[in-house]
Structure 1
Amino acid sequence: MPGALREETSRLLADYLQHRLGATPLPPPPSRAAETLRRVGAELESRERAFFRSAALPEPGQAAALVSRVAAQMEAEGGLNWGRVVALVAFAGSLAAALAEERGAPGREESEEVAEALAAYLAGEKRAWMEEHGGWDGFYHFFNKHGSDPADQNSTISNAIMAAAAGFGLAGLAFLLAVR
């Protein structure tokens, strides 16, 4: 399972970043979890656009380290949950887009390093948590409550996103603004 979780995490993050960077043609999501991650990540980024745009670009070669520090800081502020996983992925996507826009091809290379750092964190350091919560299948089921009506699903997504944004805002915003 550890190898499979790492592989799936890397594939999902690569897909999300490709989606976020506006790859054309954009292939269909490789799984239900990838489709959900695209949807929920976009919703979080849309709702918290000002926050994601307030982050300063790190020095060249430091983007992966920044994502790792934000993950550690956010976890210290209240632990991991699916909403915070989405927040980390959305932050990585927003950072990747800003790097690509600002630095061109070198920024895209840094984006790959960001994805690898986040995959190492989620499938390595947080592997036990991920497995305990069903891995990416658990993520999919958390955000897609089958049998519930669309209003309940939207409520689940909104609640998770609000919890993530609140936690991410406290930890991440303070940290990000400090590195400007």
Structure 2
Amino acid sequence: MESSEYCYVYYLVQDYLKYVLQEPQLGPAPSRVAHVLRHAASFLQKENEESLKPCLDTFDITSVDAARRIFTQVMDKEFADGNTNWGRILTIFMFGGILSKKLQEHRVQLTGENKKQISYFITEYIINTKAEWIEANGGWSVLLTRRRSAFRT
């Protein structure tokens, strides 16, 4: 059985990916935390996507499995120094969004099942590597009190 924390993170990841992929049935953010994530992570994504383009263009992102491998490798390097902060937590969402968009660019059909798989591997990463840090640093609701400048990576 999945924990309530797992379900909550999965819900946040799914909402963010729907927002980034500009799904037509997307309504208002389902929670205040989801709203902050939509705006803070997408701000970082827009700010960094162009500078990451040369690197991203070298990746062969033609399947969800390839996206998973790339995601894990990049996140492991991002956190290799052992430092975690809220900006880096947002980076997890941001990079998942970038990879999802790259899959679309490579004409990978993002079916409901594919989006579930992407949401799953992002959630797994957060739960397995960052859940303790998030809890020790005030939980997800801390995002509601942060200013955009506090999210620098």
User: Shift in Å at residue 21 of structure 1?
Assistant: 0.6
User: 1:116 aligns to what?
Assistant: 120
Q: Give the residue type in structure 1 aligned to 2:88.
A: R
Unaligned runs of 5+ in 1: 144-152, 165-180
Q: Give the residue type in structure 2 aligned to 1:113.
A: Q
Alignment of 1:1-180 (within 5 A): 3-54=3-54, 55=56, 56-60=59-63, 61-106=65-110, 109-141=113-145, 143=146, 153=147, 157-161=148-152, 164=153
Query: Quick one: distance in 2 between partners of 1:57 and 1:51?
Result: 18
Query: Quick one: distance in 1 between partners of 2:111 and 2:70?
Result: 14
Q: Which moved more, 1:33-42 or 1:106-115?
A: 106-115
In 2, are the aligned partners of 1:13 and 1:115 still within 8 Å (CA)? yes
Q: Which moved more, 1:56-65 or 1:27-36?
A: 56-65
Task: Looking at secondary structure, tell me which structure has more helix per residue.
Answer: 1
Q: Give the residue type in structure 1 aligned to 2:10.
A: S
User: Shift in Å at residue 69 of structure 1?
Assistant: 1.7
Report the count of equivalent residues: 148
Shift in CA distance, 96/44, structure 1 to aligned 2, threshold 3 Å: same
User: Could you report, residue by residue, the CA deviation over 1:90-129 in whole angstroms, capped at 9, with x for unpaired residues?
Assistant: 1110110120232241577544323211111112332211
User: Shift in Å at residue 53 of structure 1?
Assistant: 2.6
User: Could you report, residue by residue, the CA deviation over 1:29-69 in whole angstroms, capped at 9, with x for unpaired residues?
Assistant: 11111100111112112222313433134352221121122
Query: Quick one: distance in 1 between partners of 2:22 and 2:110?
Result: 17
- Name which one, 1 or 2, has greater alpha-carbon Rg: 1
Quote the RMSD (CA, aligned, Å).
2.1
TM-score (norm 2): 0.84
Query: Quick one: distance in 2 between partners of 1:76 and 1:87?
Result: 14
In 2, are the aligned partners of 1:96 and 1:108 still within 8 Å (CA)? no
Partner SS, residue 3 of structure 2: helix
Q: Percent of pairs identical after alignment?
A: 25
